[in-house]
Structure 1
Amino acid sequence: MRVDDLNRRAVLQVFVAGGSAAFLAGCGASGPQPASPPGSSGTASANISVTDQRGKTVTFAKPVTSVVTIPMPAASLLVAVDGGADHLRAMHNASWVAMRDGVMGSMFPRALELPHDVATQDFTPNVESVRALNPDVVIQWSDSQLVEPLENAGLTVLGLKNTGKQEDVDAWVAMFAAMLGKPERATEIKAHSDKEFAEVKSLAAGRSSAGPSILYFNRFTGGLKAAAANTYNDTYIKLVGGTNPATGKDPLPGVGMVGLDVEQVLRWDPEIILLGNFDQAVPQDIYSDPVWRNISAVRSRRVYKVPLGGYRWDPPGQESPLMWHWLSDIAFPAARSGLRGKVNDYFRFLYNHEPTAEELGKILWTSANSGSADYQQFNAG
């Protein structure tokens, strides 16, 4: 997807190639109208229309001020686009847990006071709870069985898709920026992301040797699940120059996060293992279990817990550029990106907040990862 330049003085137009989403702001019945100046509430004659990833267009008379989010990345993404949590009304419990366990809760403590019972684990909405909040808009995954109960209750819904591509993040940012009346924010965030993407891609292209095999576990405790085809994790493993055994010569069947057994991992013998932030597993859990001792990643102590910042770095989100750099540094430790400085810069840009040394250690899991190879590169100093 290519997001067009946004004209702050006229009309916002953000188009996604192929027609998967289009975002139009400032379009009245008789044609383009001047956009509301920054900080204004908008008027009925300067409506904001947003077309979601289902291809459905909804129109707001003014920038939204009350949002319920159900997809897990959406709550923190809204905060990053909006510059605060004032317009967030409720979120999925997994979004709230990430805020509690990460640093979002300390940056924006009000967010931890919000309801987080608006959907089940599988995103089925609690319609009565959502309706009681009377939000301007509900953000939901675009599956019809998840959207229709909300719309049948008279709620306005924007549907999101996750195809495992960076274009989805760009689309989400553009939608959120448009509905909040801050179209310029979409341009800024995409420009930062594009710059980091190009840098990581260029570094990978310049390497003469093949990268390591990297296996990402979305779930480790209570049953293994790994990132297979059509996942964002597979995308960034390949972006940094690594290979994903789950999509290689002996791939996992199916798409998304797919269950597997230890025997399959032993056959792949990955050189690096990543533990996601959707359970409590840490590298020591693997190092101390004799079942895993013959795997290359364990013998070389290259098992790592993925960072958790304003949101989890493993799925797509506003901090994904930091994940790309972190993983590149893990896969190729001789070429360091200066990640701590990048985290500081990105957090100032996204949240107007510079992490403390303690917060950086928490974000990067420096304690949990301290026994893993080359992780001292992320220490202070």
Structure 2
Amino acid sequence: MKKRMLLVICIGLIMCIAIAGCSSQAKESESKTAEKLTSVVDQGGNEVQLPETITKVAITPIPWASAIWAIDGGSQRIVSINPSAMAAYKTSFMPELDPSFATISTAEITKDFTINVEALMNLKPEIAFIWNDQTAEAEQLKAVGITPVMLNYAENLEDLKKDLLLVGQVLGKEDEAEKLTAYHTEVENYFIDKKAELDSISKKKVMYLRNSKLSVAGAKNINNYLLELTGGANVAAGLDKQWSEVNMEQILQWNPEIIYLSNFDEIVPEDLYQNKIEGQDWSNIDAVKNHRVYKTPMGIYRYDAPCVETPLMIKWMGSIQQPELFKDYDIRKDLKAFYKAFFSANLTDENIDTILKVDANS
């Protein structure tokens, strides 16, 4: 009997210790979660104390309206965006996914990112996402009780992923942001692993054209990295800027074999093939003679800028520039899988044609 009682007591003690340990771990976990949600360090290097609840957000940067929509799983918390972001929305594929996005206000933020703080106060956002050089605006927002969170204009994929993860932390959507950035890393690593093979073959001379004013992507443009990563040689890599305006004489001298057309302008391949732009003669450019001019895709946002769909932009470029090397994926299948995984959307073949600008690029 004594032995049995001693055994019962020992078991009881073990259970108490186990329960206490679990309780301690749970409290520690809760403490870490609470700590993670109460403050973040933004892309301006500021420690930001977050509101207890975030029901409304305003978004100054143009690309980030779509990114925040993607990470948050909808537009339910977005109350104000840049009018340029709304213009992009209207010409993108996103209306098919979220018609209610069209009702978001654009009256409080101008195209040049100026914030009408008094007007924004009427919408009562707890958070305003701004660029990391908007220090004056940050102080104005804090003065009226709106918490500013600074984002960085990504010049590389690491900056882009940091921004995505920061948004996830602020909105309590860490898992969604981590899943998305993991896909970004996976796709980039696929192309990095092909570097040795790329180095052994000739690169296509490519040019990224922003608009009909002949503004091209230079060395500091993220597209310069994407072009090189996917087996192209950017003819404007010697220009140490994000975008540089050049002339037809320079383009003729470069003579690109492939030209990409941005969605920041309405210019399409046919405009170059038919020499429709006044004062410009494209007839002697190899990319034009061989019909290798491509309008960049547009999904929930322009693929030109660092965005949620940048991995798809990389795959699309690879399939155009080095189709023999990058033949172990299918951009259409990957696009369909991406939309299902991250937007819970089932794309049709017609939807994919629309996103990839198949009509313009045929």
TM-score in terms of structure 2 length: 0.85
Summarize the alignment of residues 80-95 of structure 1 with structure 2, pairs less than 5 Å apart. Answer: 80-95=70-85
User: Secondary structure of 1:167's partner?
Assistant: helix
Residue type of the partner of 1:365? K
- Structure 1 counterpart of 2:52: 62
What CA distance in whole angstroms lies between the structure 1 residues aligned with 2:36 and 2:204?
52
Question: Out of 218, 232, 240, which is 1:242 matched to?
Answer: 232
Please give the alpha-carbon distance, in whole angstroms, between the structure 2 residues aligned to 1:146 and 1:237.
35
Give RMSD over aligned pairs: 2.4
Match of 2:351 among 356, 359, 362: 359
1:278 partner letter: F
Distance (whole Å) between structure 2 residues aligned to residue 204 and residue 304 of structure 1: 24
**Greater helix proportion:** 2
8 Å CA contact 2:41, 2:48 repeated in 1: yes
Aligned mates of 2:52, 2:40 — CA distance in 1: 12
Equivalent in the alignment of 2:361: 369
Larger mean Cα displacement after TM superposition, 204-213 or 75-84: 204-213
Q: Residue 204 of structure 1 contacts residue 240 of structure 1 at CA under 8 Å; is this kept in 2?
A: no
Does the 8 A contact of 2:154 with 2:306 survive in 1?
no
Question: Which one of 151, 156, 169 corresponds to residue 178 of structure 1?
Answer: 169
SS at match of 1:309: coil
Percent identical pairs in the alignment equals 31
State the match for 2:216 in structure 1: 226
* 1:101 aligns with one of 76, 91, 96: 91
Structure 1 residue 333: deviation in Å? 2.8
How many residue pairs end up in the alignment?
A: 331
Question: Which SS does the other structure have where 1:58 is aligned?
Answer: strand
Report the CA distance shift for 1:175/1:292 in structure 2 as closer, same or farther (over 3 A): same
- Shift in Å at residue 331 of structure 1? 0.5
Larger Rg: 2
Q: How does 1:24-43 map to 2 (within 5 A)?
A: 33-35=31-33
Does 1:288 pair with 2:278?
no
User: Which residue does the alignment assign to 2:342?
Assistant: 350
Match of 1:377 in 2: none
**Change in 2 beyond 3 A, CA 1:163/1:188:** closer
* Secondary structure of the structure 2 residue equivalent to 1:226: strand
Cα drift, residue 175 of structure 1: 1.1
Summarize the alignment of residues 33-182 of structure 1 with structure 2, pairs less than 5 Å apart: 33-35=31-33, 47-143=37-133, 144-145=135-136, 147-182=138-173
Q: CA deviation at 1:320?
A: 0.4
Out of 209, 223, 246, the residue aligned to residue 260 of structure 1 is 246
Instruction: Give distance in 1, aligned partners of 2:195 and 2:265.
Output: 30
The counterpart of 2:294, out of the listed 304, 315, 339, is 304
Instruction: Give 1:191 shift.
Output: 1.3
Quickly say closer, same or farther: Cα 1:324–1:89, change in 2 above 3 A.
same
Q: What secondary structure is seen at the aligned counterpart in 1 of 2:210?
A: strand
8 Å Cα contact 2:36-2:169 kept in structure 1: no
1:64-107 superposed Cα distances (whole Å, 9 cap, x missing partner):
22111111111110011111111111211221122211111110
Runs of 4+ in 1 over 6 A off after TM superposition: none
User: Where does structure 1 lack aligned partners over 5 or more consecutive residues?
Assistant: 1-8, 12-25, 37-44, 371-381
1:104-125 Cα offsets, whole Å, 9 max, x none, are 1110111111112332222222
Preserved CA contact (<8 Å) 1:123 1:146 = no
Find the aligned partners of 2:92 and 2:345 in 1 and give their Cα distance: 14
The alpha-carbon distance between structure 1 residues 120 and 263, as it changes in their structure 2 partners (threshold 3 A), is: farther
**Which secondary structure does the structure 2 equivalent of 1:124 belong to?**
coil
Classify 1:235/1:149 alpha carbon distance in 2 versus 1 (closer, same or farther; 3 Å). farther
Letter aligned with residue 56 of structure 1: N
Residue 85 of structure 1 aligns to a residue whose secondary structure is coil
Once the two structures are superposed, residues 150-182 of structure 1 have per-residue CA deviations (whole angstroms, 9 ceiling, x without a partner) of 445442111112241111211111111111112
1:189 is aligned to: 180
What corresponds to 1:331 in structure 2?
Answer: 321
CA 1:153–1:304: 2 relative to 1, 3 Å: same
Deviation of residue 47 (structure 1)?
4.4
CA contact (8 A) 1:232 1:316 kept: yes
- Alpha carbons 1:63, 1:179 under 8 Å: kept: no
User: SS in structure 1 opposite 2:281?
Assistant: helix
**Conserved 8 A contact 2:130-2:148:** yes
